[in-house]
Amino acid sequence: MLRDDYPLGVPCWVDTFQPDPESAAAFYSAVFGWVFDAPAAGGYLTARLGEHRVTGIGQAPEGSPAFWCTYVRVDRVDFSLAQVAGEGGTVLGGPLAAGGGGQMGVLTDPTGVAFAVCDRFGAELVNEPGAWAMGALHTPDLSAAGDFYGALFGWQLEPVPGAPLSLWRLPGYVGGAPGQPLPRDVVAVATLATETVPPHWAVNFRVDDVDAACERAVGGGGTLLMPPTDAPGFRNAVIADPQGGVVAISAPDAV
């Protein structure tokens, strides 16, 4: 699905920061078919499927492991960062200059989970093979998360009956496609963190064939953290890239 804009409060971009961005680019190109623009200022690499921007790879701070970051669209980055402390979060950095002449800021929610806000850039292709599909908050405190993200972005947390999962819904938002399994105002999902899955914002990329993508990942030096597993409507897996960045992959069941 092509996107040319994101309403306020909607996750709009994901990227990864790696100790060796060029090596990470080679790995993800083999797994997802991404091609990369020439490095921008600071060595940032923008990944594309065809002509459409889908994600990016930046230089991780010295001594930092690889990680993925989720961004949410806001109107004014400075206003959003000023609001964070009052809601129990922490500002890690910003406002900072970002792509397209915009700004971004990095923050944590009250449980220490890091993410970012931005006022301009976003993925141009989503929910297609090789593109970003969904974000999932793994948190130790769903109630605190619900209060924080509700105050900051207007999200409402709705438990899924019979499942260890809640939906983040943004009233008035219409995303996705008609007839999809999830309500079209869903912007992300949430679940409790566990001993084996620490608090973090997870990113999920869609693929045509989960098993084949896992084979490419392992063949490129990655690690299989969760083998291909069937769930209602999807086949899923979790992989770590050679530098430790973790992504989920999924393919919807054939209709």
> 210 phi and psi, to 5 degrees?
-60, -45
Q: What is the pLDDT of residue 41?
A: 81
What is the predicted pLDDT for the residue at 215? Answer: 98
Q: Please say if the pLDDT value at position 148 is more than 80.
A: yes
| Residue 10 pLDDT > 70 | yes
Is 90 exceeded by the pLDDT of residue 176?
Answer: no
Per-residue pLDDT tens digits for 66-113: 999 999 999 999 999 999 989 999 999 999 998 778 999 999 999 999
Residue 255 has pLDDT above 60, yes or no: no
Nearest to 202 by CA among 52, 28, 69, 62: 69
Cis peptide, bond prior to residue 95, ω within 30 of zero? yes
Residue 245: phi, psi to the nearest 5? -70, 135
The encoded tokens of residue 152 equal: 């900051």
Place of tokens 């301009």: 120
CB 102 within 8 A of CB 121: yes
Res 233: pLDDT: 83
Kindly report, residue by residue over 129-144, the tens digit of the pLDDT: 999 999 999 999 999 9
Q: Which of 6, 15, 32 is nearest to 250 (CA)?
A: 32
Q: DSSP for 153-212?
A: H--EEEEPTTSS-EEEE-TT---S-TT-SS-TTEEEEEEE--SSS-SEEEEEEE-S-HHH
Q: Which two tokens stand for residue 54?
A: 């889908």
Q: What is the pLDDT of residue 177?
A: 80
Beta bridge partner(s), residue 55: 47
- Intra-chain end-to-end CA distance of the chain, in Å: 18
- Cα-based distances in Å from 137 to 71, 166, 199, 236: 12, 10, 8, 17
Residue 254: per-residue pLDDT: 66
45 CB neighbour count, 10 Å cutoff: 23
What does the alpha-carbon distance between residue 136 and residue 207 come to, in Å, rounded to a whole number?
17
- What are the chain's domains? 11-252 (3.10.180.10)
> Is the pLDDT confidence value at 181 over 60?
yes
Whole-number average pLDDT of the chain = 94
Tokens of 153: 């972005």
Backbone φ, ψ for residue 174 (5° rounding):
-125, 105
Alpha helix segments (H runs only) across the chain: 21-32, 77-84, 142-153, 210-219
More confident residue, 239 or 254: 239
Share of the chain above pLDDT 70, in %: 99
Q: How many CB atoms lie within 10 A of CB 222?
A: 23
Would you state the pLDDT for residue 122?
94
Q: What is the mean pLDDT of residues 240-246?
A: 98
Confidence at residue 231, expressed as pLDDT on a 0 to 100 scale: 86
Using 50, 70 and 90 to split pLDDT, how confident is the model at 179? confident
